[in-house]
Chain A
Amino acid sequence: MGLLSDPNRRRALTNLLTRLNAPICVVCYLAGVMWFMGLAFEPFTLRTYMSENAMGSTMVEEHFPAGERALATGREFAAHKKKVGGMPVNWLVKTMESRGLEVFTQSFTRKLPFPDENKERYLVRGTNVYGILRAPRASRTEALVLTAPCSQGNANNQAVGLLLGLAQYFRSQVYWAKDIIFLVNEHDLIGMQAWLEGYHHTNTTGGDWSPLHGRGGSIQASLSLELSSDVITSLDLVLEGLNGQLPNLDLANLFHAFCQKIGVLCTIQGKLQRNDWESTSGYSHSAQTMMLMVLKQASGRPWGDHGLFLRYHIEAATIRGINSFRQYKTDTTTIGRLLEGMYRKLNNLLERLHQSYFFYLMPSLTRFVSIGYYMPAFGLLAVILLLRVSFHLSDRRGLGVGLTRYPGVLSILTPVVISHMTGVALYCLPVMSQEMAVQHFPVSETEAVVLTAIAIYTAGLALPHNTHRYTLPLVLKLVALLYLAVLLGCTALINFSLGFILALSLVPIAAFITPHTHKPLSAAIMVLLSPGCTLLYCVLIFQELQETPVSLQDGWMLFLSVISQGILDHSLYGSLVYPLLALLIYPCWLLLWNILFWK
């Protein structure tokens, strides 16, 4: 602080910052990116460890014997499903009752704002069936949940079979201290949303569901099971939930510990763990895993049925069985034993899972990067904005043409309001005007929504040209910089990945855009770094990382469907990414666009 109290040195510092502002910003940006990429380097990350004492030292023995019977039940379920042409509610109720559970059903209806073309549904009607295993001598205050979706076609029959098999086995055990709820949900996330809202008696997204009649108290943890083949080669753990929320890291540790114990291959993001961190390929493997996690988290959508539990502060994860072409296969009995072990450990919990991290990235299943390690990467990017603000404040002459007729802060209101009105239009109009669009153009509803969104997005570029008459670019730029800094800072605190990706693309243009630059070139760069294009790159990179590269044509189609999914996620489950982009990020980018075209 002596540095700042001394006026000479302070002046020197200011001079340095002003003079070397641009290089410092570039260095910060590069350092931020480097830091982020370094997170995947194994020596820089921490090994995962079990923090929860109740789950650590006490080992349990697994005895689940009835894998074959579970598969038979699964086949029976499949037959009934085919016969009924949907959820075999009566059969499920009867089967669960015969296993000694208290069985309840919940019906729900949901009308989507526009047809979902990926899953081909518009008006969704369904029934959830759940059975509660009452723990002996427990007073219905705590519960664990095991869910399996009743999917279309032949998917997930084995999961339902295993769920019923586990229910039967669990029922005959005496050690349960928490009620266990076995839920078979129809229409995957929509059914799950209906069940969770029914359980907690909330209604955040305007669905229509019948009230629940059986409850087990406050849910402590939940696992969602997806299993589509009789044998599997590996189990994949899915953690990313709604709005980028993650379950407590101990849940992942628990899964990993049991996979190790029982000898099941386990993956995260579909990627196996590798031990050759020294080699380039080893590093790029873990970097890919981490990037996949970042991209999934940034999307803000639930990547499995567990994703909606996180809103209710219920630790949840999806376990997905994968059958690839490997030699070594794992049978259902082993998966049953794995789940039994996990539930017994969760049953031992005295408190909710809270000891370990809630904010983390995983470059592999045994390594994690905690919030303290990854935040500096974002901080390095965010500091650029502040540096630019200080630069412009100390160096007014650079931009300030004619400070004498300083028009006041109110003058920037016009572009700010107009930008935000465009944002509001982008948020509301696509869904509202779909009918009109369908009438006038030969497109389906979904296409209408997406294309309207893109049209409004593009139209926004043309709008603000005549609004800057009374505004100084300096004031506008200062406001835009501060606005962006606050926005990105808040976003990164809630969803680091989203904040970081947005910062990567928006910070450079926000930092260096002035009215004096080469217009066509700058405009091209700005468009290429706009939020919409960032989304397109993310889609392409995601496909690349998943080792399913797509052509530009397919990528564009995928991009369109991602937009429609984003809007659907918002209206169905309350995902916040679409409103964030439309109402805040896009207007902010329009402000910068405005500066570029200042005459």
Chain B
Amino acid sequence: MAAFRSNIFMLAFFLCGFSVFVTGDVQTNQMNVAETVFIDNVPTTETDASPPSVTEQSQTAEEKRLWEGTEVGTNLADGASDNKVDHVHDTMQATDAPPSPPAKDQTQRFAFDERIWEATNVEINLVEDAPPIRDKEADEADHVLDTMQTQDFPPPSTAKDQFQEELVIKPLHSGDIYASFQFRTQWDTDFLLGSKVSHYRLFPKSLGQVISKFSVRELHISFTQGYWRTMQWGQPFLPSPPGAELWVWFQDTVTDVDLAWKELTNVLSGIFCASLNFIDSTNTVQPSASFKPLGVGNVTDQRFLRYAVLPREIVCTENLTPWKKLLPCGSKAGLAVLMKSEKLFHSSFHSQALHIRPVCKDWQCKSTSWELRQTLNVVFDLHTSGQGKREWSLFKMFSRTLTEACPLASSSKVYVDITDNPQGELFELSPATPLVSQAVVLGDGRTYSVYDLTDHATFGQTHSLNVLLRWRAAESGEMLRPLLHGERYVAGYGLQTGEIHTLVYNNHPYRAFPVLLLDTVPWYLRLYIHTLTVTSKGRDNKPSYIHYQPSKDRLQPHLLEMLIQLPPNSVTEVTVQFERALLKWTEYTPDPNHGFYVGSSVISALVPSVVAMDTNNTQERPLFSSFFPCKEESTYFMRIYTEPLLVNLPTPDFSMPYNVICLTCTVVAVGYGSLYNLLTRTFQVEEPSQGLAKRLANIIRRLRGVPLLT
């Protein structure tokens, strides 16, 4: 009976929604897109659940409604949810004023204007916010289910979750090619104020629950296989150390941070199929200066920060799959179709990361929303896949081409870096695109060709986009030396002591700049901190700030943070000696002769921009704008990671214990007692005492005068 009634309701709302479509404002409703819409509409979409049938859906709707009823009841008691109820009507009718604040209208208009401008001037902004163009059917479906949903569970009035995706392709000077995916999901909710959130649209529920349960303010996690070769490839957009890295800022309401951290790592370990559960107190540190929050909010109390690196973590498909599932379109539509693991892991470098942080919701930044940024960086090797022929295409890199944008994405773009190729003399890019974008990336002005996937024209007649780069020149010119890079190695030989050398290069010809060096060393390398030396250009370079936290055996690692001024055009060498500890025999890993890892050093710096260094960049810009380097271009923040270290510790021969036990037992049983006797006693020959009978006999014999018995 209940099912029947809900069916009737469904029908009613369907009709209602249809009328909304006919009359209503398209733009308004589009913001309230429900996730389930696309499950039905896009048949290829990969989701965690099978597409629900109408009856199932109505049942769930019924359940939701019941649950919602109690919720509403309590909320009513609070007196805070009257606008919620109102909102139900708002959306159902959809004829009222649009729920978005005027600021949003402005944005839209702005975006619209910008689009016109883009078409005329052939230049767009990197952070433009153009509304996507939709199929009519999709829109229709949107509204239908939208209203269905809103009847039961209304979204907050200001909800405007967004999803953007982009792919940057950068040909590197070494001939390799760098592909960087970025997916940005903005979640327009603010449960910091204490309200309970249980509805998820674009934002993955698993992560949302993690954030709310553990009161996470910021979460940064990266899985990297390989080492970024700064000297060959330049700087990455988002640096990450080899292995797994996790750093989290907790809310200041958390009382037991260590407990929350422990639970969080275990939960994340499950979400990402990674060995994050190996993060414990022996590899967790609280850096005092190196890792500041990247989102809004001014929290500097390091007690709420935890940082850990697992340099040994191997990243493979089992980590990629859960990562892909967090995307709203999964890997079935949009840029994510390119992520085929057999190609992504057939590369020189693979790094996937996930960053969650609070960001400003609007221009005034009065309230915050959550930003989830998923990035994936891959470098494809020229030599192993190209057979020496320098030609790259999407198909060659990913064995897929692009056919559509993710329908949920508000923006979906492919950028190709053509800075070194302004006239097409280095390589040829096809299909050609009229859109060009300029941006300052890592202190360097770059130019990009842009393919807008939301535009049908991009795909052409073949209905697929396969960006192709074909080189004309054999050599791709000299690369500007990266201004900052670091190296690290273990010096010395033998298994007793050693020395860690960290080299930090400042390649800027005339500018000095400070860097923050963070070193985390496991306890089993006992640092002799009195041997710490910092030398630049042969002279002692005294760090202006040193934060050192000594290790505790089996409890916490060494933490060394230093602020060092790097003189221009110099190598700064930081050395510290250590002693290798002898572990307990159960503490060795199953492969002790492989060695033990020491995580990468982190070098954070404000680096002077290359823009100011560039002498012949004046041709494209007016002269008046290029004399003084403008503020945001003069320095930029950069973080680089050195190599992890592999250190051999003194290792017993593990086939020996059995032999040793046998031998020891034998020696103790046989040898010890006798030897002890021999050493502690003196032996003397004693005349045996005669028996009683014999003595009697002798007495008699003496009396008789016959010889005695002996």
Contact = CB atoms under 8 A, between A and B. Distances in A.
Contacts of A8: 685
Interface stretch (A348-356, A410-418, A424-432, A584-592): A348-356
Contacts of B487: 213, 215
B674 A4 contact: yes
Interface stretch (B115-123, B271-279, B326-334, B640-648): B640-648
A171 interface: yes
Interface string A1-32: 11011111010000000000000000000000
B487 to A, nearest CB: 7
Interface in A142-200: 142, 171-174, 200
A172 B384 contact: yes
Nearest to B489: A215
Contact of B678 (A4, A174, A311): A4
B528 to A, nearest CB: 16
Contacts of B495: 313
Interface string B572-603: 00000000000000000001111101000000
Contacts of B350: 137
A403 B519 CA distance: 69
A69 interface: no
Interface in A391-426: none
Nearest to B385: A174
B644 A141 contact: yes
Contact of A136 (B347, B493, B595, B644): B347
A202 interface: yes
A137 B492 contact: no
B348 A313 contact: no
Contacts of A95: none
B240 to A, nearest CB: 11
A394 B553 CA distance: 53
Nearest to A352: B593
B232 interface: yes
B253 interface: no
Contact of B384 (A4, A141, A174, A218): A174
Given A7-B685, A137-B350, A311-B493, A2 B674 contact: yes
Contacts of B597: 141
A2 B227 CA distance: 67
B662 interface: no
Contact of B643 (A6, A100, A140): A140
Interface in A178-236: 200-202, 213, 215, 217-218
A480 B348 CA distance: 64
Nearest to B242: A139
Nearest to B243: A139
A142 B646 contact: yes
A351 B594 contact: yes
B683 A7 contact: yes
Interface in B489-522: 489-495, 499, 501
B347 A137 contact: yes
Contact of A1 (B348, B382, B678, B685): B678
B674 A139 contact: no
A277 B499 CA distance: 51
A312 B493 contact: yes
Contact of B593 (A10, A139, A174, A354): A354
Which size bracket describes the interface of B in this complex? 35 or more
A1 B675 contact: yes
A218 B644 CA distance: 11
A1 B677 contact: yes
A136 B678 contact: no
B643 A201 contact: no
A490 interface: no
Contacts of B226: 136-139
Contacts of B651: 354
A202 B575 CA distance: 13
A134 interface: yes
A116 interface: no
Which size bracket describes the interface of A in this complex? 35 or more
Contacts of B345: 137
Contact of B645 (A141, A174, A201): A141
Given A5-B674, A136-B381, A352-B648, A200 B591 contact: no
What is the interface of chain A mostly: helix, strand, loop, or mixed? loop
B346 A174 contact: yes
A5 B679 CA distance: 9
Contacts of A218: 490, 595, 646-648
Contacts of A140: 227, 643-644
A213 B573 CA distance: 12
A172 B383 contact: yes
A102 interface: yes
Given A138-B227, A140-B227, A313 B493 contact: yes
A134 B229 contact: yes
B225 A137 contact: yes
Nearest to A213: B487
Contacts of B643: 139-141, 217
A393 to B, nearest CB: 17
A535 to B, nearest CB: 29
Contacts of B229: 102, 134
A313 B646 contact: no
Interface string B383-398: 1100100000000000
Nearest to B670: A1
B171 interface: no
Contact of B491 (A136, A172, A201): A201
A134 B384 contact: no
Interface in B642-671: 643-648, 651, 670-671
A100 B383 contact: yes
Contacts of B382: 100
A174 B383 CA distance: 9
B684 interface: yes
A284 to B, nearest CB: 36
Nearest to B573: A211
Interface in B308-322: 311
B630 to A, nearest CB: 35
Contacts of B242: 139
B349 interface: yes
Most buried by B among A8, A174, A312: A174
Contacts of A352: 593-595, 648
Nearest to A7: B683
Contact of A139 (B227, B492, B671): B227
B648 A313 contact: yes
A252 B493 CA distance: 24
Contacts of A134: 227, 229, 348
Interface string A445-464: 00000000000000000000
A174 B345 CA distance: 10
Interface string B236-253: 000000110000000000
Given A4-B674, A5-B678, A200-B492, A350 B349 contact: no
Most buried by A among B345, B348, B495, B651: B348
A351 B383 CA distance: 28
A313 B493 CA distance: 8
B287 to A, nearest CB: 21
Contacts of B232: 102
12 contacts: A1-B670, A6-B683, A8-B685, A136-B349, A137-B225, A137-B347, A139-B242, A201-B489, A201-B492, A201-B501, A218-B595, A354-B593
Given A200-B492, A215-B487, 6 more contacts: A7-B685, A134-B348, A137-B225, A139-B226, A139-B227, A201-B499
Interface of A: 1-2, 4-8, 10, 100, 102, 134, 136-142, 171-174, 200-202, 213, 215, 217-218, 311-313, 350-352, 354
- 10 closest pairs, A vs B, by CB? A1-B674, A139-B242, A201-B491, A351-B593, A137-B226, A141-B646, A140-B643, A137-B225, A351-B594, A139-B227
Interface of B: 225-227, 229, 231-232, 242-243, 311, 345-350, 381-384, 387, 487, 489-495, 499, 501, 591-595, 597, 643-648, 651, 670-671, 673-675, 677-678, 681, 683-685
